Amino acid sequence: METESGVRTIDSKKSPRRAKRRNRPLSRLVENNLIQQVSIEKYQEKVRKVYGGPKGALLATCSKLSLHSPLGERIFRERRFDLRGCRRILDVGSGAGQIAKHLLKYADRDTEITCSDLSRQMLRRARGRLKSSRTRFVASDLTRLPFADASFDAVTCGFVLEHLPDPRPGLAEISRVLTPGGRLLLLTTEDNFSGAWTSRLWYCRTYNRAELKETCHSLGLIWQQELWYTPVHKVLRVGGICVEIVKR
């Protein structure tokens, strides 16, 4: 839900790759492009209302029904993103605490977990669901995280980056608060058919896998491995982008 305060609407003429991809029939007909049409302040307010309202209240239930939550848990349970040894974990855009719940279950007992989100209402919901003394909750913008450099040895960022018109400021902040060698689990909406419908429902954008990888590498965030919920998801190329990233 995070956006960069003070940045105005993206000019497609200054972003040729994004403009070219938006000419695809699927994106033009289905994908929501509000993020490209209004100022960042207006877009941010719209997203706050969406997540603070009935849709946000049903977010945890939607995650279960879509199987994102139970299938996402397998990534931690099977140690494909291994939390062992992590002492400080940041969950960016915690929402209703879907990922934080897995962190509490599979991280070491003495691990400190920080949940951040732009929406205070979502943080209240997460606090009520998690009910753990091991977590702290911080209302913050992804592009201006209120943490010192190298504060965390792991970061999870699940379906948050698509609420930025440009991923660079958010990824740069994640890189800043990660320790060298620290790991990021990034999940975001992909520019395919299912991603376009997700965009329509949640007023977000989508990302091209190759372009996002290139952007991450330019910031010193190296894609270690691409993760898939199941072999079927990999074959059908659905479920969004899910990748383990290491800070150089």
Pair 184, 247: CB distance under 8 Å: yes
CA distance 74 to 168: 29
What percent of the chain has a predicted confidence (pLDDT) above 90?
A: 61
Mean pLDDT of 130-141: 95
Domain ranges of the chain: 12-247
What percent of the chain has a predicted confidence (pLDDT) above 70?
A: 85
Q: Show Cβ contacts of residue 222 under 8 Å, excluding neighbours closer than 6 positions.
A: 216, 245, 246, 247, 248
Mean pLDDT of the chain: 86
Q: Show Cβ contacts of residue 195 under 8 Å, excluding neighbours closer than 6 positions.
A: 31, 189, 206, 240
* Span 101-129, pLDDT tens digits: 999 999 999 999 999 998 898 899 999 99
Question: Residue 65: pLDDT band by 50, 70, 90 thresholds?
Answer: low
Asked whether the CA dihedral 9, 140, 239, 199 is positive or negative, the reply is: negative
Mean pLDDT of 172-200: 94
Please check the confidence at residue 206 and state whether its pLDDT lies above 50: yes
Of all helices (H) and strands (E), which one includes residue 173? helix 168-177
Q: Lowest-confidence range among 52-61, 76-85, 102-111? A: 52-61
CA distance 190 to 162: 9
Of all helices (H) and strands (E), which one includes residue 80? none
Residue 14 phi, psi dihedral angles, 5° rounding = -95, 0
CA distance 46 to 196: 18
Domain 12-247 annotated CATH 3.40.50.150 = yes
pLDDT at 13: 35
pLDDT at 216: 98
pLDDT at 18: 40
Mean pLDDT of 218-241: 94
Please check the confidence at residue 63 and state whether its pLDDT lies above 60: yes
pLDDT at 114: 98
pLDDT at 54: 75
Residue 161 phi, psi dihedral angles, 5° rounding = -60, -25
Question: Residue 56: pLDDT band by 50, 70, 90 thresholds?
Answer: low
Please check the confidence at residue 23 and state whether its pLDDT lies above 50: no
Complete DSSP assignment for 213-240: HHHHHHTTEEEEEE--SSHHHHHHT-S-
